Amino acid sequence: MRQTKQKRLTIGEVFARRLRDVREQKQLTQAQLSELLAELGVSIHRATIAKIENGGTRAENISVRDLLAFAAALNVAPLHMICPFEDDVLLAITRTVAAVPSQARGWIRGNNTLRPEDDAQFFYTHIPRVEFDLLLEQARRTPGGPRPLASLYVERHSSTEED
């Protein structure tokens, strides 16, 4: 039986598609979106929005500032502007690292490592204690009991909070 290779989408490709889709759902022209961005203090011309929506280099090189500005102007979480909703594709994080979109969304949210081989202890050490506690509580409510999150959280957080 022959296996089919999953399609890989870059973050720029996803962003270009989502930008156009959300803008059209909100019934905004590119010029109107440019005006909304200007109200937020970000100058992005209508022609630049057209280039981004067409994909290619401009979409691939979107800055974090511009991503956040577009998300704010459109009232959409930045995560959902760069990560596909469907899991039948792979999201190319880099040229050599790709993930199923649900795994990538969890990683961006700080809920899980990107890859199974990543150091989970290190990963969970670098999230705020209050967020870790929420993850732990969610894990306790998950059928089958809590995952071993507590053992992954390094004690330095407890000691630094008491200082």
Helices assigned H by DSSP within the chain: 11-25, 30-39, 46-53, 57-60, 64-74, 78-82, 101-109, 120-125, 129-141, 149-152, 156-162
92, 10 Cβ separation under 8 angstroms? yes
> What digits encode the pLDDT tens for the residues 26-35?
999 999 999 9
Q: Which of 30-34, 60-64, 80-84, 156-160 has the lowest mean pLDDT?
A: 156-160
Report the percent of the chain where pLDDT is more than 70.
Answer: 85
What is the rounded average pLDDT of the residues 91-112?
94
Residues 28 and 46 in one domain: yes
> What digits encode the pLDDT tens for the residues 142-159?
776 555 554 454 443 444
145, 137 Cβ separation under 8 angstroms? no
What is the rounded average pLDDT of the residues 92-111?
94
Q: Tell me the average pLDDT of the chain.
A: 87
What is the rounded average pLDDT of the residues 76-100?
96
Structure confidence at residue 140 as a pLDDT band (50, 70, 90): confident
Residues 41 and 93 in one domain: yes
Residues 161 and 86 in one domain: no
Look up residue 95 and give its amino acid.
R
Identify the CATH number of the domain in which residue 64 sits: 1.10.260.40
Residues 128 and 95 in one domain: no
Checking phi first, is residue 55 left (phi over 0); if not, alpha (psi -120 to 50) or beta?
left
SS3 65: helix
Query: pTM here?
Result: 0.82
Residues 47 and 11 in one domain: yes
Cα dist. 4→7, 73, 88, 100, 105 in Å? Answer: 9, 38, 11, 15, 24
pLDDT given for residue 89 in this prediction: 96
Query: What is the token pair recorded at 123?
Result: 């990963």
The number of domains in the chain is: 2
pLDDT at 104 over 70: yes
Q: Which of 71-80, 115-124, 132-141 has the lowest mean pLDDT?
A: 132-141
Residues 14 and 31 in one domain: yes
Structure confidence at residue 141 as a pLDDT band (50, 70, 90): confident
Task: Give the domain extent around 64.
Answer: 1-110
- The position carrying tokens 């969610």 is 138
